[in-house]
Structure 1
Amino acid sequence: AIWMMPTYAAYGGWPSSGEIDIMESRGNSNLNYTTADGEPIGVDHVGSTLHFGSNYFYNGFMKTTVAKRLKDGRTFADDYHRYSVEWTEDYIKCFVDDEMTLNVEPDEGGFWKFGEFEKNNMVNPWRYASKMAPFDQEFYIILNLAVGGMNYFDDSNIGPRPKPWTGADKTAFWRAKEEWYPTWNPFENDGEDAALKINYVKVWKLKP
């Protein structure tokens, strides 16, 4: 994943201070799975999301979650790809290989109105801030590789072999190592086929 988190969490705990997921993807080329609804979730799929809300239970991410899928047997593991975010005082846009996949431009009601949180009779944590709050503060970039868990590999996913662990049981995941570890082809090409490879990271300031 390539994502961004607030440096100072100016508006409180997650997700009140925001999160920008520039790119999230699954990297195992043998992970030819789909959701229960038939949606592919393998290496031909990447997603972008903004997380924002008054508290953990009220997160507007569903309004900003998008996905891009490759066709004709191509995958995001075949070559390098360019994932980017353009972030200004008026909008946040995400791109995959220069193709815009997400465009969020809140009006003067800001992300509170955009997320329709006023329906829940809660206090707006951004009521004294700009329309881009919580995305009007300093963020830092994270690049990470995660394994196991439930959030991105649900028990209901359908694939060529049963998921070798259930739920979020970390010990079950490790006990099943002999089943999932070989699917990463760790001994082929000196392990390069299983590596998270990064060509470059660049940041530009749009305004002086």
Structure 2
Amino acid sequence: MRLLVLCFITFFKYSAGQFEVPDALVEVFRPRGLRVSIPDQEGIKLFAFHAKVNEEMNGREGGTFSRDITKAKNGRWTFYDPYAKLKVGDIIYYWTYVDYFDGKNKLGYANDDLQFVVKELLEKDTSSTKAPTVTTQTTEEVTESSGCKSSPTKLGNDATCSQKVIFHEDFNSLDNNLWSPENKFAGSPDYEFVVYTTRRENLEVNDGHLKIRPVLSEDLFGKGYVDRRVDLGTNCTGVLGSLDCVQEANAFLILPPVASAQISTKNKFSFKFGKIEIRAKLPKGDWIYPELYLNPLNEPYGPDYASGQIRIAFLPGNEQLNRNLRGGCILGSSQAGRNYGMKTIKKNTGTWGDDFHVFTVVWKPDQITVSVDDTVYGNIYAPPKGFVSESHNLELGNVERWHSGTPFAPFDKEMYLTVGVGVGGHVFPDRSDGTKPWQNSDGKGQKKFYKATSQWRPSWTDASLLDVDYIKVSAL
């Protein structure tokens, strides 16, 4: 909320003899903890701290760490995050802000473009200001004393503060510390008709946007590509030597007729429970769809959909289907398992792919809520005996492992972000009206899709791409 206010305030830093924002004392603790403070002075009414680690701030943005401190303690205005885990060499980019009352007016002052290099980790009892003692206080006491309310959100085994932004991607670049692009042939459980590549024609980041565009594979790799043998080699991100990495055309089996892209935060950023927001423009064009997913980190309940998937936004690009936005969770590969936890909102005029929208999922320990542009269109709850009690009705197999989890299993384990564009495959249910050129149970499906290129390719235009503005994940 403060950022909205700051946008309308003119900041001034005064020369000697007038108020200046005091220099901040930055302290980083072992094994975790970050404290930033300024000395109390008469007239200071509020202190705010905004920062990112190893990433420069984009002006006066909120940052990963963002908090207003409304009361001084022990002679200092202090921001403290007991869960921040930093290491020597990390750079904290930050700005500070103070509300100051000069006896007549309360004005706002900022200190911009600051940075602090972590050169050592302090023991909490050797710092120059008094720090909360985590080992002798309960979580509730620590969070209350530091202004941090505990959250059910977890980053691995680490707790975090309620409403804290734990991931914010503006796509000023494709950060290799956060994202891994896929280079492999698609496979189970959706069997999309795609080879994922890292080529610029498919994957591009510019002007603060991520853009993923599907392209005919023969346009990229030459005519006859679908009838070749292709080995992606050691750059393959799938299982080496498997169909992830090596495929050979044989009779009715052909290589994927479409090249696309997919990136994920697997093994780089994962979490359990939180609020996920993605501002994006979804692709238009027959049989194209966005892949905006939360996927299970370690597949603790088994492979494919046995460990579940949360869909932040799903929208077929076909003109006749582009008005029905879907979001929710997938419980299995059967049509019943794919539909049970999915919710739909229909657009009466235009389509959901016409413009940018903010797609949101709130993932709680007992509930998943989906919304678009702040309009909630679905809540998913587990039955009283858990999702496992529906396994027979949903035609789900091998879900006995769900008994070892909570009633909300499989959605009670860490997940990571996946962003991409798929084409065809099993995400589209079979149709009896002849408009879908393949059947999901037909081994020749990919070839039939390829042979129908003249039917669906004309619908692909400049709008046939996924355009992502930002992704933000916040603690509950």
Q: Shorter-chain TM-score category?
A: 0.7 to 0.9
Which runs of structure 2 are paired with 1:58-207 in the superposition (5 Å)? 60-71=337-348, 73-106=349-382, 109-113=385-389, 115=390, 117=392, 124-149=400-425, 151-152=427-428, 154-157=430-433, 162-163=435-436, 165-167=437-439, 169-185=445-461, 191=462, 193-206=463-476
CA distance in 2, matches of 1:85, 1:63: 17
Which residue pairs with 1:19 in the alignment?
309
CA distance in 1, matches of 2:405, 2:386: 9
Contact in 1 for aligned 2:300/2:307 (Cα 8 Å)? yes
Which residue pairs with 1:46 in the alignment?
325
The correspondence for 2:300, drawn from 5, 10, 13, is 10
1:18-70 per-position Cα deviation (integer Å, ceiling 9, x unaligned): 11122111124xx33xxxxxxxxx211111232226xx569644432221110
Alpha carbons of 1:12 and 1:78: their partners in 2 closer, same or farther (altered >3 Å)?
same
1:118-164 per-position Cα deviation (integer Å, ceiling 9, x unaligned): 99998732222222221111111112212233542634247xxx55x
Alpha carbons of 1:48 and 1:200: their partners in 2 closer, same or farther (altered >3 Å)?
same
Q: Which has the higher strand share?
A: 2
Query: How many percent identity over aligned positions?
Result: 27
The alignment of Structure 1 onto Structure 2 pairs a total of residues equal to 181
CA distance in 1, matches of 2:376, 2:407: 22
CA distance in 1, matches of 2:327, 2:361: 10
More displaced, 98-107 or 118-127? 118-127
Q: TM-score, normalised by structure 2?
A: 0.34
Partner of 2:304, secondary structure, is coil
Q: Whose Rg is larger?
A: 2
Q: Which has the higher contact order (CA 8 A, sep 6+)?
A: 1
Letter in 2 for 1:199: D
Q: TM-score, normalised by structure 1?
A: 0.72
Alpha carbons of 1:157 and 1:50: their partners in 2 closer, same or farther (altered >3 Å)?
farther
Alpha carbons of 1:24 and 1:150: their partners in 2 closer, same or farther (altered >3 Å)?
same
For structure 2, the 5+ residue unaligned runs are: 1-289
CA RMSD, Structure 1 to Structure 2 (Å): 3.0
Contact in 2 for aligned 1:15/1:59 (Cα 8 Å)? no
For structure 1, the 5+ residue unaligned runs are: 33-41, 186-190
Contact in 2 for aligned 1:10/1:17 (Cα 8 Å)? yes
